Amino acid sequence: MAMRQTPLTCSGHTRPVVDLAFSGITPYGYFLISACKDGKPMLRQGDTGDWIGTFLGHKGAVWGATLNTDATKAATAAADFTAKVWDAVSGDEVLTLAHKHIVKTVTFTQDSNCLLTAGNDKLLRIYDLSNPEAAPLEIAGHTSAIKKALWCNNDKQILSAADDKTIRLWDRSSMEEVKTLTFDTSVSSMEYVADGEILVITYGKTIAFYNALSLDLIKTVEAPAPINSASLHPEKDFFVAGGEDFKLYKFDYSTKEELESYKGHFGPVHCVRFSPDGELYASGSEDGTLRLWQTAVGKTYGLWKCVLPEDLGAENSEQMYTSAPEIKA
């Protein structure tokens, strides 16, 4: 009997949700941050989607958001020409880092001591958070706005994707470009999987997997619609992707076969990420909501509860899996 995927809907934002990120697993569970064009990034409990707080202070759309591993710090990138660092426990603003143009992406080093930022001024910047008054290190090379920048290889290297249709690998110590990948169209998203050094990128209808150290291609998969984001499961047995047709697709990583597709959003999907335990994936959309989807449909986890047929009355025995059709978190 087929189980029905019932996503949890996380309301609260008033404009499109354009980026999201999970923390690592902490003693208090794991956490989820979302970036939205309403300028008000939100922190949620990762497994339930329950709202914890909203970071108030930006004066423009927020394009990027991230948490450090233990969810004690948050960082956001915004159209008000700033990146901000926040205390993710109290919600207080810790630092405002002024830029010369729209900031699109922020990411912490594993030790949370440095913050990498990038955006429309085409520069990568590395801030020492223990000495925020110091001028950041700047790395130039891209010829158009940078969409995403990530640490890789134990924070010794940086990967960046830009509207110049390239992905570039940089060495942190020399600040030199190591290698460049060039595409026919602009790359829409990039995810780095540290375990196995895998880079997941999307462009057009293609989801591509590269070795993050050598930038050698591992495989590509074609989706039925233009894709804006993709995420590889921590166990690397499958990956999910979302894009312009409002759907979320799940593929087998080894065979590349499409396993499932789900429609829940009422607008294009801008971002999708697996939780650190791999039990769910979160999607953010043009429709202003985040949705949480179960990796193994029907499993009791978070707010989902599996009810077996013998536990139900005869009149609704065909409904194996209970969860309100529209759960607002």
Q: Where residue 326 falls among pLDDT bands split at 50, 70, 90?
A: very low
What is the radius of gyration, based on Cα positions, of the chain? 20
Instruction: Note whether residue 33 is domain-resident.
Output: yes
Instruction: Note whether residue 262 is domain-resident.
Output: yes
At residue 213, the pLDDT reads 92
pLDDT digits (tens, 9 = 90+) for 261-281: 999 999 999 999 999 999 999
* Residue carrying the six token digits 């994936």: 281
Residues 93 and 218: their CA atoms lie apart, in Å, by: 41
pLDDT surpassing 50 at residue 322: no
At residue 185, the pLDDT reads 96
Q: Which has the closest alpha carbon to 280: 296, 265, 260?
A: 296
Where residue 69 sits, what CATH number does that domain have? Answer: 2.130.10.10
pLDDT surpassing 80 at residue 323: no
Q: Where residue 324 falls among pLDDT bands split at 50, 70, 90?
A: very low
Instruction: Note whether residue 4 is domain-resident.
Output: no
Residues 169 and 214: their CA atoms lie apart, in Å, by: 9
Residues 64 and 250: their CA atoms lie apart, in Å, by: 24
Residues 226 and 207: their CA atoms lie apart, in Å, by: 10
Q: Which DSSP string corresponds to 72-84?
A: SEEEEEETTSEEE
SS3 state at 266:
coil
Per-residue three-class SS string for 212-235: CCCCCEEEEEECCCCEEEEEECCC
pLDDT surpassing 90 at residue 12: yes
Residues 101 and 295: their CA atoms lie apart, in Å, by: 38
Q: Where residue 298 falls among pLDDT bands split at 50, 70, 90?
A: confident
For CA atoms 72, 75, 76, 82, the dihedral sign is: positive
Instruction: Note whether residue 110 is domain-resident.
Output: yes
Q: Check if the beta carbon of residue 292 is closer than 8 Å to that of residue 10.
A: yes
Q: Domain tally for the chain?
A: 1
Instruction: Note whether residue 320 is domain-resident.
Output: no
pLDDT digits (tens, 9 = 90+) for 167-213: 999 999 999 999 999 999 999 999 999 999 999 999 999 999 999 99
Residues 156 and 173: their CA atoms lie apart, in Å, by: 7
At residue 305, the pLDDT reads 86
Instruction: Note whether residue 57 is domain-resident.
Output: yes
Q: Check if the beta carbon of residue 147 is closer than 8 Å to that of residue 161.
A: yes
Instruction: Note whether residue 324 is domain-resident.
Output: no
* Mean pLDDT of the region 5-28: 96
* Residue carrying the six token digits 């978190």: 329
pLDDT surpassing 50 at residue 11: yes
| Number of residues assigned to the chain | 329
Which structural domain, as residue segments, surrounds residue 265?
16-294
Phi, psi of 311 (to 5 degrees): -90, -5
Instruction: Note whether residue 6 is domain-resident.
Output: no
**Beta strands at 42-45 and 227-232: parallel, antiparallel or unpaired:** unpaired
Among the ranges given (2-11, 34-43, 114-123, 190-199), the one the predictor scored with the smallest mean pLDDT: 2-11
pLDDT surpassing 50 at residue 318: no
* Mean pLDDT of the region 144-164: 97
At residue 310, the pLDDT reads 63
